[in-house]
Amino acid sequence: MFDARFRRVALALGAALLYPGKALAQSPPPPPPPTEAAPGTAAQDVASLRDEVKALRADLDEVRAAQSAGSSPAAATPRPLGYESFWPWVVPPEGLSLKGYLQSQYETHQDSQDQLTQAGTTLNQDRFSIRRARVSLTGEWQYAALALELDANTTSGPQVDLRKAEASLQYRPDRKRPPILMATLGLFDVPFGYELVESPRTRLFMERSVASRAFFPAEPDLGLRLSGALGFFRWTIAGQNGEPLGESSPFVLQDPNAAKDVVFRFGIDTQPLRVLQVAADVSSLRGRGFHGGTAATSATIQWKDLNEDGVIQPYELIPVPGADATPSSNFDRWAVGGDLRASVQSLLGVTKVYGEFTIAQNLDRGLYIADPVVTGVDQRELGYYIGIVQDVTPWGVVGLRYDHYDPNFDAVDKRQGKLLPFSEGISTWSPLAALVLPDRARLVVQYDVIRNAFARTATGVPTSLPDNVFTVRLQVEL
């Protein structure tokens, strides 16, 4: 955007410089008839005019050079079949540039209730909200790069977060392509799988899949990232704190243990045909979760109303001795996954088909939070999704995504004294339709049909709690 504006300004400046030049050459009144002048004076005039022309030509060359410098990177920015690149493969304009977008929405949930939770938060989810209002500043120079992004939203009340703070050194000899080698230190999206690194600005579906949100409640975490693109090959290696933003713990964007989560992502991104783009990656993560210990306590007395009469009896007073502090401990967690996406250009527009799966252990940090120190059993998890997005002319898009998350392979339910295996899986069908003003705005309508195991039937068998979601979102970009 900044680049386009600069281009227009530069063109206007060039035109302004050129136009008066021509005008000056045409508008003066015809010169008076030559008078008898000394030959020396005429030669001086010619020399003066030549100097002036030379100066004008130099100015013109300068303006052309400026125009050329301002426009070339943007023209070179690859836009694979209509879908933008994601970090760290984005090729931003040279110098500083500013971007931003706003997502405002209305949503209604089937399980919404006009009640409060025990913690005092609202159970009503039928509401208007600002889901994301983001401003980003990128800096792109020969050997250095910078990315800053701020997010404001009202999802859990008004709040402002830092979403990206990337300081990078890079080797990018071809300014039209991503860097061959880039080292980034700061706050960046965890490079695991495709959903985490895809910008919410370009993703048409309202949110990431349930599994992705359970494993990574928000995208960014602090750390060091090495990445590079060589031809069609893409690679990323990162070491991060392992306490991403949005995690349900007191250590968000901090790190209670010295071990870092190490993430690998290797893949390809290629366009074998003019109308076909294919990309695929495998990802892995290995790290250490943290189980917090307890502080020492003083001796106390508890009252348990054994006879439920609301009156203290001597035998209802229970002494609770003071307890020593318990130490904290770590536990292993890992995940492996793969993602594949293909985009095909047709007369109708671009068709994008993509999918991803993740197998993990003790990685859930947002939904069924894993802590094998407490349970004594490792929590094995599986998540996957498959989606399709179809352009319908430049002004419309339709899409459908199915995602499934099983937070615990080993879940059991107790009925009639028997432990019965059952699935805690959550499946979601998400059809959507959108109206698009290219590069400016889009209005998206999505309906999530959700199946879970949060309820029981009248015979006590686990069943789905109705919690389908309808969302209308308007996104406008700078």
Q: What residue ranges bind other proteins (CB under 8 A)?
A: 108, 110-111, 113, 115, 123, 126, 306-310, 392-393, 395-398, 414-417, 431-436, 443, 445-447, 455-461, 465-468, 470, 472
Q: State which residue, 373 or 392, has the beta carbon closest to other proteins.
A: 392
Residue placing its CB nearer to other proteins in the complex, 287 or 399: 399
SS3 content of the chain, % helix, strand, coil (to 5): 15, 45, 40
Name which of 110 and 345 has its Cβ closer to other proteins.
110
**Minimum separation from the CB atom of position 309 to other proteins (A):** 6
Angstrom distance (rounded) from CA 442 to CA 104:
11
Structure tokens at 94: 């040279």
- The torsion angles phi and psi of 40, rounded to 5 degrees, stand at -65, -40
3-state SS string for 390-429:
EECCCCEEEEEEEEEEECCCCCEEEECCEEEECCCCEEEE
Please state the closest distance from residue 305 (CB atom) to other proteins, in A.
8
Nearer to other proteins, 237 or 443 (CB): 443
Segment holding 11, helix H or strand E = helix 2-26
CB of 308 to other proteins, least distance (A): 4
Nearest-approach distance from CB 400 to other proteins, in angstroms: 11
Choose between 240 and 452: whose C-beta lies nearer to other proteins: 452
Taking the C-alpha atoms of residue 474 and residue 247, their distance in angstroms, rounded to an integer, is 27
Of the two residues 75 and 347, which places its CB atom closer to other proteins in the complex?
Answer: 347
**Number of other residues whose CB lies within 10 A of the CB of residue 113:** 12
Q: Nearest approach, Cβ of 329 to other proteins (angstroms)? A: 29
Q: How far is the CB of 243 from other proteins (least distance, A)?
A: 29
* CB-based contact 416:436 (threshold 8 Å): no
CB-based contacts of 310-314 (< 8 A; 24+ apart in sequence): none
| Cβ contact 474:103 at 8 Å | yes
Cis preceding-peptide flag for 92 (omega within 30 of 0): no
Q: How far is CA 354 from CA 151, 188, 339, 402, 418, in A?
A: 27, 23, 7, 11, 41
Task: Find the shortest distance in angstroms from Cβ 298 to other proteins.
Answer: 17
User: How many alpha carbons lie under 13 Å from residue 212 in its C-beta half-sphere?
Assistant: 27
Q: Which is nearer to other proteins, 146 or 397 (CB)?
A: 397
| Close Cβ partners of 396 (under 8 Å, ≥ 6 residues apart) | 433, 434, 435, 436
Nearer to other proteins, 231 or 394 (CB): 394
**Cβ distance 437 to 395 under 8 Å?**
yes
Q: Shortest gap between Cβ of 437 and other proteins (angstroms)? A: 11
- For residue 443, the minimal CB distance to other proteins (Å) is 7
Reported as half-sphere exposure (CB side, CA atoms, 13 A), residue 141 has a value of: 9
